[in-house]
Every structure is written in C-alpha cells, then in structure tokens.
C-alpha cells in the first residue's frame, strides 16, 4: 500500500509517467484503435487529431497511448509539447525547435560515424547560431566571409554540411573591399519551420530507424486566456502541416471536438474520445483513492453520486470537483471521516458566496438563482462567459443553442429548496 499523497489525489491534470497507466480507466477500444493505427510507425503527411469534449481526458489518453507505443515500438522517440496558454504559435514552434536541438546534441552526436562527423559538427555549429537567434539570446549574428566561400541568395543562404543541405535563414550580405559581412537576423515563423525540417533531415540521415512522434497538447487552447480556436491556434495548425509532411515525424495534436469539426480538413481523424459513463467515473474515483489515499473513502455514496452526475462524463471536471470539495473538508478527512452530501452542499454554498463577490460573475448569479428557484435546470445568459468562473463548473453550454447553458446538478442539488415531508 502506497502512503497518502494528497498532492496527487484527484489531480485533474495529466499524471506523471509513473502513474499514467495505473490511473487510466475504461477506454480500451479507442486505445487499441490508436495503437493499431500506429503499428509499424507508418509515414503520415497529415496532423493526427485526438479530439473530444472539454475535459474529457484527451491529454491523459494520448500520454497513455504514447507510453504503450514506446513499449511496443522500442525504436520510437516521443516528444511532448504543451500548447496550453503559450500565447502565440511561435512559442510552440520554438519549443519544437529546441526539443530537436537537444536530441541532435545529446543523442545523435554520440552515434555519428567518423566519416560524417566533421560535416555533422559543422551543421551543429550553424544550428547553434540559429538557436541563439530563435531564442532571442542575440538580436543578430554576423560573420566575415571571403568571396571564394560566400554564397548569395535573395531569400537566404544555403550551407552545405555532410550529405544534407541546411538553410540558414534570413541573411543579408554587406560587401566591404574583398570580403563580405553576412548578418543573420531572427527568422520568421516560416523560416523557423524550415529550421525544424532541417533538424528532421539530420535525424533522418543519421537515425532513420528512430522516427519521432511529436505530441502538441491542447493546440486549440494556445490563447493565453484559454479561448478555444483562437487565430494563433489556426496559425499553428498552418505551420505544423509542413512539419507533419516530413517522413521522419508523426505529429499528434489534442483538440476540442468543436475545433476539430471546424477545421476537420486540416486533420486526420485519428481518435475520437467519447464522454465516460457514470460507472467509469466511479472506477476513476476508486483508483485514485486506492493509489493516493490508502483506500480510505473520501466521499460517501450520496456525495459521490452527486459529484459523478454533475460531471456529465467529463473526467477532468469530475476530478477537479472531487479535489475542490475534499480540500474544503481537509480537517474532516484527517479524522478519516468521509464527506457526505451535506459537505458537498456546504462547499457549493461557500463557492456561491465567492461568486456573488467576484466582479466577473456577480452580475450573472441572480439569473442563475432565479432559474433554480423556478425549478429550471437551464438558463439563458447574454455575452461571452469565457472569462468567468462559471463556465464548465456551474454552467455547461447546451449544444446547438448559443447563449443557453445547463446548470450543473452539483449546484442544483445544493440549492434546490428542501420540501417538507408530507403528512
């Protein structure tokens, strides 16, 4: 039996690798579909999409998929980039560039044959100049070159290194006497994509038998304020497409179903994740309690039932609710007393008090309370709720009805007036 680990108990973020498989529940069919599709690591020139509803467990699923894939296909190399809140497409491209830079320096460098070593080192030297520009460590690089070795091109300079060509980005030539000074400035996003493809060329030349699987997680939540489908997310898709076309790489992204449906022609329909059943969520709860709480119950059956129904199949939302309620009652849990329905209701009432004082939500709470008082479990609200704490906790969008939201049963159960027992 593992000791208690309250940091991990009900953590709604993707778990660390040591727990990623143990905490995975009840998605054997889509998992087998994903593994069968990637068997043998086929070349694919498209972006593979794992998609589903908000907080449906996409990130956890794909991490388990990649862990199993590494075990089945021992030669595969996996890199994970989290796009959530990175702000701009360039930040993600920079992460990809640096990940490949590390692989080339730390892995490939040690296995390059003697006959190719000099050319590979020349490529790494040039790549180091690019890294400094990509990361803005310097504003520009300049170098002196004689007329006999300089090569001029309007869009860039081509540097020969070993058996492959590496484009060196945006360089401007300044003539001075018999020599030239070449000034290299920060690359554009398009040139940064070319840099990444150059790195993939090097991987393919020296380790063609070790293809790379790149995961870009939460691609549609690139915007710093969490808006789905922002312009920067779309720009990132456009930049990832030529990267995905390279034969040395498989690109996988996780996106919300709405974003996938809006740009489905830009993706390969790889794996669709459906929402979990109530029994599945109870199994998730049991696994977390056994792993991180010594098997001691956190909620009684009535409280767990409310939390399960409130999640509507979204495992991320379910775990977050379990975490928030359990931490609210930390003192009670230290006494090894399970939280009951009254404990859930007291948590919700406390949250409502805060929502009434929060400037982002206080103007919306009266409409919510009126709907509940009238026995309604849906409400119409004007405006964009993305910047409020209500969305995906208290309220869930009603599909196909913009501006209409379903009120979470967790909140409805706590606020519904108690009826006096009939005589």
Give the pLDDT score at 169: 41
Q: Phi then psi for 61, rounded to 5 degrees?
A: -55, -50
Residue 5 placed within a domain: no
pTM: 0.82
Q: What would the pLDDT profile of 385-415 be if each residue is shown by its tens digit?
A: 876 777 777 888 776 687 888 888 777 765 5
Residue 198: how many other CB atoms lie within 10 Å:
24
296-321 pLDDT, tens digit per residue, is 999 999 999 999 988 889 999 899 99
Domain membership flag for residue 2: no
Count CA within 13 A, CB hemisphere, residue 296. 18
Sign of the dihedral through C-alpha 58, 59, 62, 64: negative
Q: Is residue 9 part of a domain?
A: no
pLDDT digits (tens, 9 = 90+) for 226-259: 555 578 999 999 999 999 999 999 999 999 998 8
Give the residue from 365, 328, 327, 372 showing the smallest Cα distance to 347.
Answer: 328
Task: Assess whether 182 and 217 both reside in one domain.
Answer: no
**DSSP SS3 for 146:** strand
Q: How far apart are CA 193 and CA 191, in angstroms?
A: 5
Q: Report residue 1's pLDDT band, with 50, 70 and 90 as the boundaries.
A: low
CA 202 from chain centre, in angstroms, equals: 27
H-only helix segments in 295-340:
301-311, 315-328, 330-334
Instruction: Report the pLDDT value the prediction gives residue 368, as an integer from 0 to 100.
Output: 81
Residue 417 has pLDDT above 80, yes or no: no
Q: Could you tell me if 407 and 335 lie in one domain?
A: yes
Give residue 200's pLDDT: 97
Residues 212, 318, single domain; the answer is: no
Pairing status of strand 395-397 against strand 404-407: antiparallel
Please tell me whether residues 86 and 144 are part of one structural domain: no
CATH number of the structural domain spanning residue 35: 3.40.50.300
Of 49, 51, 92, 399, whose CA–CA distance to 223 is shortest? Answer: 92
Phi, psi of 267 (to 5 degrees): -125, 160
**Is the same domain home to 315 and 347?**
yes
In sequence order, the β-bridge partners of residue 165 are 160
pLDDT of residue 172: 33
Statement to judge: residues 87 and 156 lie in one domain: no
Q: Is 151 within the bounds of a domain?
A: yes
- Looking at the fold, whether 237 and 178 belong to one and the same domain comes out as no
DSSP code for 274 = P
Same domain, 309 and 402: yes
In tens, the pLDDT along 73-120 reads 988 999 999 999 898 999 999 999 999 999 999 999 988 989 999 999
Q: Are residues 409 and 289 in the same domain?
A: yes
Q: Does residue 422 lie within any of the structural domains? A: no
The closest of 100, 60, 32, 99 to 254, measured between CA atoms, is 60
pLDDT at 122 over 60: yes
Smallest Cα–Cα separation from 62: which of 98, 38, 45, 94? 38
Residue 323 lies in domain: 278-415
pLDDT band of 132, cuts 50, 70, 90: very high
Q: What is the percent of the chain with per-residue pLDDT over 70, rounded to a whole number? A: 84
Closest by CA to 347, choosing from 316, 314, 307, 396, is: 307
Domain boundary among the residues 216, 238, 273 is at 273
What CA–CA distance (Å, rounded) separates 84 from 60?
14
Task: Out of 129, 158, 188, pick the residue that ends a domain.
Answer: 188
Tell whether 420 is covered by a domain.
Answer: no
Q: At what angle do helices 301-311 and 341-357 cross, to 10 degrees?
A: 50
Please enumerate in sequence order all residues whose Cβ is within 8 A of that of 400, keeping only pairs 6 or more positions apart, or say none. none
Q: Is residue 392 part of a domain?
A: yes
Asked whether residue 1 is assigned to any structural domain, the reply reads no
Burial class (CB in 10 A: 0-12, 13-18, 19+), 47: buried
Q: How far apart are CA 91 and CA 107, in angstroms?
A: 24
- pLDDT at residue 227 in the model: 54
- 367 pLDDT higher than 60: yes
Q: Tens of pLDDT along 40-80?
A: 999 999 999 999 998 899 999 999 999 999 999 988 999 99
Q: What is the pLDDT of residues 140-198, one digit of tens each?
A: 444 444 333 333 333 333 333 333 344 444 443 323 333 343 446 789 999 999 999 99
The pLDDT of residue 271 is above 80? yes
Tell me the C-alpha distance between 401 and 227, whole Å. 19
User: Are β-strands 179-185 and 140-146 bridged in parallel, bridged antiparallel, or unpaired?
Assistant: antiparallel
pLDDT of residue 223: 78
- Among residues 230, 251, 273, the one where a domain terminates is 273
More confident residue, 357 or 164: 357
- CA dihedral (308, 314, 318, 321) in degrees, to 10, reads -120
> If you average pLDDT over every residue of the chain, what do you get?
83
Same structural domain, 76 and 225: yes
- 220: its two tokens: 């549609």
Mean pLDDT for 13-39 is 90
The first and second tokens of residue 131, run together, are 């890294």
Query: What residues form DSSP beta bridges with 159?
Result: 166
Within this chain, do residues 388 and 349 fall inside the same structural domain, yes or no? yes
- Do both 215 and 317 map to the same domain? no
Give the pLDDT confidence score for residue 162 in this predicted structure: 38
CA distance 169 to 195: 8
**For residue 3, what is the DSSP state?**
P
Read off the tokens for 128. Answer: 């180091």
> Considering only CA atoms, which of 347, 369, 281 is closest in space to residue 55?
281
Band of the pLDDT at 346, cuts 50, 70, 90? very high
Cα 364 to Cα 355: distance, rounded to the nearest angstrom: 9
Say if CB 320 and CB 326 are below 8 A apart: no
**Where do we find the tokens 């081509």?**
158
Looking at the structure of the chain, the number of domains it has is 3
């Amino acid at each position: 039996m593992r000791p208690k680990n309250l940091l991990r108990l009900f953590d709604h973020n993707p778990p660390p690798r040591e727990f990623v498989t143990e905490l995975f529940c009840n998605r054997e069919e889509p998992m087998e579909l994903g593994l069968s599709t990637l068997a043998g690591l086929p070349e694919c020139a498209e972006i593979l999409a794992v998609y589903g509803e908000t907080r449906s467990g996409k990130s956890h699923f794909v991490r388990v998929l990649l862990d199993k894939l590494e075990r089945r296909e021992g030669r595969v190399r996996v890199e994970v980039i989290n796009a959530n809140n990175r702000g701009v497409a360039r930040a993600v491209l920079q992460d990809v560039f640096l990940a490949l830079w590390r692989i080339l320096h730390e892995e490939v460098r040690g296995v390059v044959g003697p006959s190719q070593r000099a050319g590979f080192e020349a490529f790494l030297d040039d790549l180091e100049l690019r890294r400094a520009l990509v990361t803005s460590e310097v504003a520009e690089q300049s170098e002196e070159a004689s007329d006999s070795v300089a090569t001029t091109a309007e869009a860039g300079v081509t540097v020969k290194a070993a058996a492959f060509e590496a484009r060196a980005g945006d360089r401007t030539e300044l003539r001075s006497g018999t020599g030239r000074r070449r000034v290299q400035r920060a690359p554009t996003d398009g040139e940064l994509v070319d840099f990444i493809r150059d790195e993939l060329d090097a991987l393919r030349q020296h380790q063609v038998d070790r293809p790379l699987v790149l995961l870009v997680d939460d691609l549609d939540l690139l915007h710093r304020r969490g808006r789905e489908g922002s312009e920067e997310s779309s720009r990132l898709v456009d930049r990832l497409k030529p990267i995905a076309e390279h034969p040395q790489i498989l690109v996988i992204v996780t996106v919300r179903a709405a974003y996938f449906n809006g740009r489905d022609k830009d993706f390969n329909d790889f794996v669709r994740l459906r929402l979990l059943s109530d029994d599945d969520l109870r199994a998730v709860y049991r696994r977390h309690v056994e792993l991180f709480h010594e098997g001691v119950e956190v909620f009684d059956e009535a409280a767990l039932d409310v939390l399960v129904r409130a999640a509507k199949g979204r495992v991320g939302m379910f775990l977050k609710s379990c975490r928030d309620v359990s931490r609210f009652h930390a003192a009670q849990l230290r006494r090894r007393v399970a939280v009951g329905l009254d404990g859930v209701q007291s948590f919700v009432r406390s949250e409502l008090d805060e929502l009434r004082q929060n400037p982002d939500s206080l103007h919306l709470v009266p409409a919510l309370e009126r709907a509940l008082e009238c026995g309604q479990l849906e409400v119409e609200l004007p405006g964009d709720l993305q910047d409020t704490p209500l969305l995906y906790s208290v309220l869930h969008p009603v599909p196909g009805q913009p501006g209409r939201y379903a009120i979470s049963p967790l909140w409805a159960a706590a606020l519904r007036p108690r009826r006096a027992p009939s005589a």
